[in-house]
Structure 1
Amino acid sequence: MTGKRGAVAAALMGVTVSMAAAAAPAGAPAAAARNDTTTVVRTEDGRVRGIRTAGHRVFLGIPYAGAPKGAHRWAPPRPVRPWKGVRDATEPGPLCPQVPSQYADVSSLEEDCLVLNVTAPAPSVSRRRAPVMVWIHGDGTVGGGSLFDARRLAARGVVVVTVNYRLGVFGGFAHPGLEGSGTFALQDQQAALRWVRRNAAVFGGDPGRVTVAGSSFGAAAITAHLVSPGARGLFHRAILSSGEGMMDMPAGVMGPGIPAYPWYTWRTGREMADTGVTTARALGCSDPVPQRALRCLRALPVKKVLEMPHVMNLFQAFAFGNRVLPELPEEPLRAGRFPRIPVLSGATRDEHRLFVGMLYDAVGRVFTEDDYDRALDTAFGALAGTVRDRYPADGFASPALAWATVVTDRMWARGTWAQNSALGRHTPTYAYEFADRDAPMYLPLPGGFPFGAYHAGDTPYLFEDKEATSRFTPAQVRLSDTMTDYWARFARTGTPNGPGLPKWPRFMPEADIPYTQSLAPDHIGPVDYAAGHRLAFWHRLP
């Protein structure tokens, strides 16, 4: 996708922004620990001073790679220059370059941003090292690791590392002759994982028990790492929330005029390079010699690059067919050509309500029944009537909810089922559906629209977010506690099952009803995911 329409689609496709990016980053651990003592550890690059509380140790803004600026913009991450003395790690580091969006009023012009944050349990008398969880935030154009407060998971005995990586045009730019085109964000994440392997022990973590976890765009990145040669051996379990690795996109589902696309997250190197040439021309760096064009682009100030409309969204994808990502990921996933590590994978019950609400009813543009008919015609052509019969507008509270349900089932649920099935045929896989239809909305969107169990609505149930958790009911607090226990247990043992927790069997694709765990305040237990999302119907259609 190129041009303004592609940019709008990309912006909506990656809307899993960090919770705190939707508000002020005051929920970061440092703010709550200002009056506590400090603590120092020695990393391979030098000593860092963090914050120590009764239950946690928090280290913020630790560099894991050198500044990707100047000649190093759009180049592989390079080693950090070691420092002398003690580096302060009590304040968040800079966010990577980004611009404000409809759902996140944050911005940055700082390229020296490849930092990570460590939240560790307080030292205990036990000599057994704690499991490590590395969180890759979603969206791909906004956000940062310090906006996720991981103290709730750390309280369960997990060392949590949250990561900044290059976003948008800085993480996904591609151009003829540019080595690594379309993969710089993935390379950053792998550099962070290598840092974790080398340094986890000084924070009390076990480098042999690393779980990589992420939501939406972050989960798609993890799908890439599952099949990327450069990530082999860097993690031992994976958690995919609202993963997009095996999704396609029917026409119009991200708004009028947005074409169909065979892969939701992946792009060919040629396609992304063509977009890069167009972008270079728009930025005044057109040159028939690629290296001269790249020198011109690398010399541009960050502010100048970001002034180009939609430039961040144009590269909100990952390129395949290269050294970092040799294949379209679904091919090795289906064939079982990936490490046989345990996976926890799921989605939300009402994934697409967030996107429909943001485009229409929640912002005052009512989605009418005529709009619904046009959307079905655009997405399904000659099959629109068949879909309309299965999802009649008068069977829902509004045409907007009818359309959101169609897309949730056709795109998100079908893609999630395909991914879980591919994984479950080859490795222990635990499937879930987050189903709290009263989940607090943490994005700054108007009320009045029933967002339900919306895309990424499960994130505040795992990470501390005052805007959301202050509105939790007692039942939602219990759900949050159970989910956090599940995630921590999975990081520790490779299964979410443990004493006192509702049983969670594996997802077995060959079973009559493969097991999916419903996560809702009033029900933690099995759900027939395929029946609930009408997958038998969708599997009969193209």
Structure 2
Amino acid sequence: MLGLTLLAAGLGTATSPASARPDRLGGEPVVRTQEGAVRGVDRGDHRTFEGIPYAAPPVGDLRFRPPRPVRAWRGTLDASAPRSQCAQLSNGTGNATTVEEDCLYLNVTTPTSRHPRPGGRPVMVWIHGGSFLTGTGGSYDAAKLATQGDVVVVTINYRLGPLGFLAQSDLTAEAPRLGSGSYALLDQQAALRWVQRNIRAFGGSPDRVTIVGESAGASSVCANVVSPTARDLFDRAIAQSYSCTTDVETLPQAETVGAGVVEEVGCAEAGDVAACLRAVDTQTLLEAWPGGRMVAGGAALPQQARAAFVDGTANRVDLIHGNTLDENRLFVPLDYGTSLTAEQYVAILTRTFAAAAPTVLDRYPVAAYPSPIIALSTVFSDANSPLSTCEHVDAYQVTDRVRGTRVYAYQFQDRTADPLIELLGDQNGAAHATELPFLFPGLFGDGLSAEQESLSDAMVEYWTNFATYGVPFGRGLPRWPEYRSPRDVLALDIGSAGGIRREDVAAASNCAFWASLAP
């Protein structure tokens, strides 16, 4: 369904989406959605509408159920600031602990240009990362994407931790077709349906929607790309730093994890386990959760993504995906500390690669790197993780098989970028998440240098032109070819370090070597 059109300021007649102007209330813009009016904030070159509910609060009896429609409201909703993030425990990266479950809100950023595109602007829907444990859409300032790219940007919340991913046999029995553990994925799709209903009212086109995400958000993008229940909700997809062919948990595996949570929170002996789980206080649930991810086995995600790409059942959408050069310079120091010794490096590779460890040590000798922790991070960034370059190269080759779609691949390589967490001093490198401030300035770090601003401008142009035209290009920028081989990957770097160029990342990361070790 199409959203309601705006009313022209000062007039009582409806206008077309291409020429629509928001009403004004107290000097601020008002947009009429199908559920009710929302009052945002005029910020000069863009407007924001934050904290808009897209589904009913998933509380009480709605906990561990698919999202339900939001109830319409009377009057005008104050959309001047984000609403609560979804329940989560703080992990030290800026998001505070909250036990609030009324959290299914989204935020819209739209340019104030007087010359909207005919038919509406392209729409980019951002799905945040955070290991499916933390994060919120309200943290991402989308002003640069919206104004430089002339697009409408929607950032969303979705249920996290056990509230978004707990699978359990009694919960599955309540909804045998969907299964359990897919609440977060269904939340994301409810937000995409809100976009289909309402985005015309904000000057956007429901016929040109691109979903974008990083890390867990990229895993979400990949899940939606192959989800039958997401069909026709978007047209293009960008997955940053997660491989679209990495297996997720199966429903039986996830239900085994869920059984442990049931035991931990004291519901194992309850006569009605599902009711008991809905009555457990939020903090207890969060603390009992060992971690989880998307669950394959229900109607929303019936099979693993790789299988859906191979058998052609994946949704036919054009795709950009890629990674950072040094993904694991974030995770390896967190897992092993920063003072790893050469002896520990050898021991870890021996445990990890068993009989192949001497061959790996010969290819990655510790003496070739500034420190053992950099050596280990390089091994895991090249191979052996869902974020690794070789895993991504494999994914490019698999996703490129879907007939009638285009695939584009990149690698972010700016080793001077600010890290999400300062761990390795001047050796942080192009670690996981370092590309985010180039799309969302101010997200973390000390700001961008002049060279980085130029790279940021280029990335925004590539990303938003892909959302607009289905092809990532930029005026005066290097051509980004469709993926046909590892030589078609676009390296994204500052000018003094090589700039933007095509690079064979498979050769740089020894992917043929890693393939030779596969059983």
CA drift at 1:449: 5.6
1:260-295, CA deviations, whole angstroms, 9 ceiling, x for partnerless residues? xxx4xx111111111111111111111375xx0110
Match in the other structure for 2:349: 376
Q: Does 1:439 align with 2:421?
A: no
119-128 or 162-171, which deviates more: 119-128
Give a deviation string over 1:509-528, Cα, whole Å, max 9, x none: 4xxx5300000002101111
Per-residue Cα deviation, 1:13-53 (whole angstroms, up to 9, x for no partner): xxxxxxxxxxxxxxxxxxxxxxx951100011000000012
Inter-CA distance 197–466: structure 2 relative to 1 (3 Å threshold): closer
Question: How far apart are the structure 2 equivalents of 1:244 and 1:506?
Answer: 18
Match in the other structure for 2:262? 280
Taking the aligned partners of 1:530 and 1:306, their CA distance within structure 2 comes to 40
Quick one: which of 124, 140, 146 aligns to 2:114? 124
Equivalent position of 2:493 in the other structure: 520
**Identity value in percent:** 41
Instruction: Return the match for 1:109 from 94, 99, 103.
Output: 99
Q: 2:155 & 2:500 partners in 1: Cα distance?
A: 28
> Structure 1 residue 340 and structure 2 residue 322: aligned?
no
Partner residue of 1:430 out of 408, 419, 425:
408
> What residue is the counterpart of 2:372 in the other structure?
399
8 Å CA contact 1:37–1:53 kept in 2: the answer is no
Cross-structure match for 1:497 = 473
Query: Is the contact between residue 144 and residue 441 of structure 2 (CA under 8 Å) also seen in structure 1?
Result: yes
User: Is 2:70 the counterpart of 1:43?
Assistant: no
Q: What letter corresponds to residue 160 of structure 2 in structure 1?
A: L
Which whole-Å CA distance do the structure 1 matches of 2:443 and 2:117 have between them? Answer: 33
Alignment of structure 1 residues 131-530 onto 2, 5 Å: 131-139=122-130, 140-155=132-147, 156-178=149-171, 179=175, 180-247=179-246, 263=247, 266-287=248-269, 292-308=272-288, 311=289, 314-362=290-338, 366-411=339-384, 412-426=388-402, 427-443=405-421, 445-446=422-423, 448=425, 450-465=427-442, 467-468=444-445, 470-509=446-485, 513-522=486-495, 523-530=499-506
In the TM superposition, residue 162 of structure 1 has moved relative to its aligned partner by 0.4
1:447 positional shift: 5.4
Q: Which amino acid aligns with 2:263?
A: R
- Per-residue deviation, 1:91: 1.2
Q: Partners in 2 of 1:514 and 1:429 — Cα distance?
A: 14
Amino acid at match of 1:131: P
How far does residue 123 in structure 1 lie from its aligned partner after superposition?
Answer: 4.5
Encode CA deviations 1:51-90: one digit per residue, 9 max, x unaligned. Answer: 0122101000000000111111000000001000000000
Q: Which runs of 5+ in 1 are unaligned?
A: 1-35, 248-262
- Bigger shift: residues 183-192 or 434-443: 434-443
- Counterpart code for 1:439: A
1:329 Cα offset (Å): 1.1
The answer to whether the Cα contact below 8 Å between 2:461 and 2:473 also exists between their aligned partners in 1 is no
How many angstroms apart in 1 are the aligned matches of 2:136 and 2:416?
A: 26
Which amino acid letter does the alignment assign opposite residue 440 of structure 1?
A: D
Deviations 1:335-364 (A, max 9, x none): 3322332111110001111112223444xx
SS at match of 1:206: strand
Q: Aligned residue pairs: how many? A: 476
Secondary structure of 2:360's aligned partner = helix
Match of 2:16 in 1: none
Secondary structure of the residue that 2:304 maps to in structure 1? Answer: coil
**Structure 2: runs of 5+ lacking an equivalent:** 1-25
C-alpha separation in 1, matches of 2:481 and 2:186: 34
1:131: Cα distance to partner?
A: 0.2
* 1:75 maps to amino acid: R
Does the 8 Å CA contact 1:49/1:87 hold for their aligned counterparts? yes
Q: How far apart are 1:105 and its partner, in Å? A: 4.5
Structure 2 distance, partners of 1:167, 1:126, is: 36
Answer whether contact 1:357 1:449 (CA < 8 A) is retained: no
**Matched-pair contact (CA < 8 Å) for 2:57–2:103:** yes
RMSD: 1.6
Aligned-partner SS, 1:61: strand
**1:168-226 deviation per Cα after TM superposition (whole angstroms, max 9, x unaligned):** 11100011032331211100000000100111100000000000000111111111111
Higher relative contact order (CA 8 A, sep 6+): 1
SS in 2 for 1:76: coil
SS in 2 for 1:538: helix
What secondary structure is seen at the aligned counterpart in 1 of 2:487?
A: coil
Q: CA deviation at 1:482?
A: 0.6
Identify which range, 295-304 or 210-219, moves more after superposition: 295-304
State the alpha-carbon separation in 1 of the partners of residues 459 and 241 from structure 2. Answer: 15
Residue 513 of structure 2 is aligned to residue 531 of structure 1:
no
CA contact (8 A) 1:173 1:315 kept: no
Do the aligned partners of 2:236 and 2:319 also contact (CA within 8 Å) in 1? yes
* SS of residue matched to 1:141: coil
Could you say if the C-alpha distance between residues 126 and 160 of structure 1 is closer, same or farther in structure 2, counting changes exceeding 3 Å?
closer
Aligned to 1:97, what secondary structure does the other structure show?
coil
TM-score under structure 1 length normalisation: 0.85
CA contact (8 A) 2:420 2:433 kept: no
Separation in structure 2 between the aligned mates of residue 170 and residue 82 of structure 1, nearest angstrom: 25
DSSP-derived class of the 1:181 partner: coil
Q: Equivalent residue for 1:85?
A: 75
Specify the code of the residue in structure 2 equivalent to 1:59: F
Mapped to 2, the partners of 1:384 and 1:104 lie a distance apart of 38
The letter of the residue matching 1:435 is Q
CA–CA separation in structure 2 for the residues paired with 1:287 and 1:39: 54
The counterpart of 1:53, out of the listed 43, 46, 52, is 43
Q: Secondary structure at the match of 2:40?
A: strand
Letter in 1 for 2:157: N
Q: Distance in 2 between matches of 1:295 and 1:43?
A: 35
For 1:493 and 1:107, how far apart are their aligned partners in 2? 40
8 Å Cα contact 1:100-1:106 kept in structure 2: yes
In 1, the alpha carbon distance for the partners of 2:458 and 2:501 equals: 12
Question: SS of the residue aligned with 1:177?
Answer: helix
CA distance in 2, matches of 1:288, 1:94: 32
The one-letter code sitting in structure 2 at the alignment partner of 1:181 is S
- Asked whether the 8 Å contact 1:136–1:219 carries over to 2, the reply is yes
Q: Distance in 2 between matches of 1:63 and 1:320?
A: 27
What secondary structure sits across from 1:464 in the alignment?
coil
Deviates more, 1:232-241 or 1:406-415: 406-415
